[in-house]
Amino acid sequence: MRLISELALQLSTWPNHQVAVIGMGKQMRILSCTLSLCVPLLSAGASALAQMPAPDEVVAVIPLEWVVFADGQRGKRLYRKYTITQDAKNVPNVVSFVCPRDKATMAHLTFHLQSMVKMEAISPSGFDKVEGRFLVDQSNSFSLPGEIIKSDMFFDRAPATWKEIDRLMFASSIQIRFGPYPAKVAFRVKPEFDEVIRKIATDKLKGVRYFATSAVLADCMKWRGER
């Protein structure tokens, strides 16, 4: 077994920004991996690092697929994407699409930013309205109204915003800016990480399912009885 922290030492040589590599699991920690798992992990991470972000940009690399756990939450279906922190010890859930059963409640896209930025600098109260400014695939920019609750940013898939939410969900890269706050948060989708997360999650968890974005939206509509 080879410790992933050894790989983190190589990743951490890149200056002035934090980099995360795709991970797994439901609030679990990765302690070690086999050589066959570490090699593609490091290779994919190096590929992501080749596109060096600006010094004030925090980047998380995430998989193409969304993860769904069998236990879920009552009255909701959650589709999640995970990353591995720079020290390779934690595997935070950084993006979620939440699909309520109740059709009177809007589905929403959530960015979990605790592991990426100091949220008190963006929202000192921990509960604020926010205008999220997005750059999608380096070519399409728009703003969305949302809410900050503690370290999470919520954006409803409302009748007026569903097209933009879907663009974010299908995007290969997303950059988020927060009003006057100088730091930028970015997410880079790397399909190579799908295989990595499947290898780890299959060994550790039962009842895990993986969805492409189109399947997430179709599954959510079916769950809500909208078809």
CA distances from 161 to 62, 138, 143, 145, 198 (A): 23, 20, 10, 9, 32
- CB-based contact 32:170 (threshold 8 Å): no
- Mind listing the pLDDT tens digit for each residue in 116-139? 777 777 777 778 888 889 999 999
- Mind listing the pLDDT tens digit for each residue in 3-38? 233 333 333 333 333 333 333 333 333 333 433 444
The residues, ordered by sequence, that sit 6+ positions from 148 with a Cβ below 8 Å of its Cβ are: 119, 122, 123, 126, 127, 128, 129, 130, 154
- Mind listing the pLDDT tens digit for each residue in 56-106? 778 888 899 998 887 667 789 999 998 877 666 667 889 999 999 999 999
Dist CA 190 CA 170 (whole Å): 12
CA distances from 61 to 64, 121, 156, 200 (A): 10, 23, 23, 17
Report how many domains make up the chain.
Answer: 1
Range of the domain at 70: 4-224
- Bridge partners (DSSP) of residue 84 are 21
- CB-based contact 156:106 (threshold 8 Å): yes
